[in-house]
Amino acid sequence: MKKKLLGFILPLLGFISLSSTGFGLWVFHENVDSKTIGSSLYLEPAFSFEETEISLSVSYDCKANSEAVSETSALILDQNYRYTGSWSCSITASFTYDILIGTKHEVAPLDASAYKAPSVILPSLEFNEFQIRFNMTENDLIDGGYLTSQVGSTSQRITPFFNLSGNEVHDDTSVEGTLRRTVTKKETFTFLPGTKYNDIDTVSEYTTFRSFLKSAKILFSVVVERNPNPDNFLP
């Protein structure tokens, strides 16, 4: 056992003693060629909303007793809509913004002076930085018990830009270096008759409802904003 142990230790000691002798190294081919590499430059795209103005429109579909849906200029409150009726408010938002196209200069690996032509950089995952949000901010008819929201419907709809469909986006590339994008997005909120609406059976109840409607409001808002949690919308 001692012989095996010494056989392992002695070469190690011999190595240590050689490495600490202080002798210089032999060096040949002293004139090593110099090589240069350049750094590629990448400018991120920019979004410009400075001149953005959202235009809004609303349309209504009223349906009673499974009859065909008809478009109207207002939310029609008809006796036939009790129990089986439904109302849909469709909010359409349209806005335009500019994407200032980014650029990239690539350098050949071993030649710092040989720049390739700039390549156009468009956002990809950058679209998760922005979102369009539809809110039903106020509905006195729901609060008053005359309407209810359709099951599964929410008062807030959020769409990140990269989830916009092709028919919702129109691009204009006529200005060099800029992509002008127009977005048209539609969201629909559907309501059903509430208990108090279904219970309108007398002139008195109708008169009470009419008085209520004099100050009642259904309000929606649409906002384009930075997404506070962009990682939540990664595809």
Place of tokens 């679209």: 127
Closest to 104 (Cα-Cα) out of 120, 124, 115, 90: 120
**CA–CA dist 157, 189 (Å, integer):** 10
Nearest to 125 by CA among 167, 163, 176: 163
Decide if 231 is inside a domain: no
Look up the domain containing 128 and give its range.
36-226
**CA pair distance 76, 143, nearest whole angstrom:** 18
Within a domain: 235: no
Largest CA distance in the chain: 115
Q: Let me know if residue 19 belongs to a domain.
A: no
Per the DSSP assignment, residues forming a β-bridge with 55 are: 94
Q: Which pLDDT value is given to residue 135?
A: 95
| Domain assignment of residue 26, yes or no | no
Of residues 99, 54, 63, the one with CA closest to residue 84 = 63
Q: Is 29 helix (H, G, I), strand (E, B) or coil?
A: coil
Beta strand ranges found along the chain (DSSP E): 41-43, 46-48, 55-63, 70-72, 86-100, 102-105, 107-108, 111-115, 119-121, 130-139, 147-149, 156-160, 169-172, 178-193, 218-226
Q: What per-residue confidence (pLDDT) applies to 6? A: 44
- Can you give the pLDDT at residue 15? 44
pTM value? 0.72
Please name which of 233, 136, 138 lies closest in space to residue 188, comparing C-alpha atoms: 136
Q: Which pLDDT score, from 0 to 100, does residue 91 have?
A: 95
In a domain, 104, yes or no: yes
Number of structural domains (the chain) is 1
pLDDT at 125 (0 to 100): 46
Task: Please tell me the predicted confidence (pLDDT) of residue 209.
Answer: 96
In a domain, 8, yes or no: no
R_g of the chain computed on alpha carbons: 35
- Identify whether 132 is part of a domain: yes
> How far lies 191's CA from each of 21, 60, 158, 194, 220, in Å?
91, 11, 19, 9, 14
> From first to last of its 235 residues, what are the pLDDT tens digits of the chain?
544 544 444 444 444 444 555 677 887 777 777 777 777 788 888 888 866 689 999 999 888 766 766 778 889 898 989 998 999 999 999 999 988 888 877 766 655 555 555 555 555 545 678 899 999 999 999 999 999 998 878 889 999 888 888 899 999 988 888 888 999 999 999 999 999 999 999 999 999 999 999 999 999 999 999 887 766 655 4
Q: Which pLDDT does position 123 carry in this prediction?
A: 55
Structural domain includes residue 130? yes
Residue type, 2: K
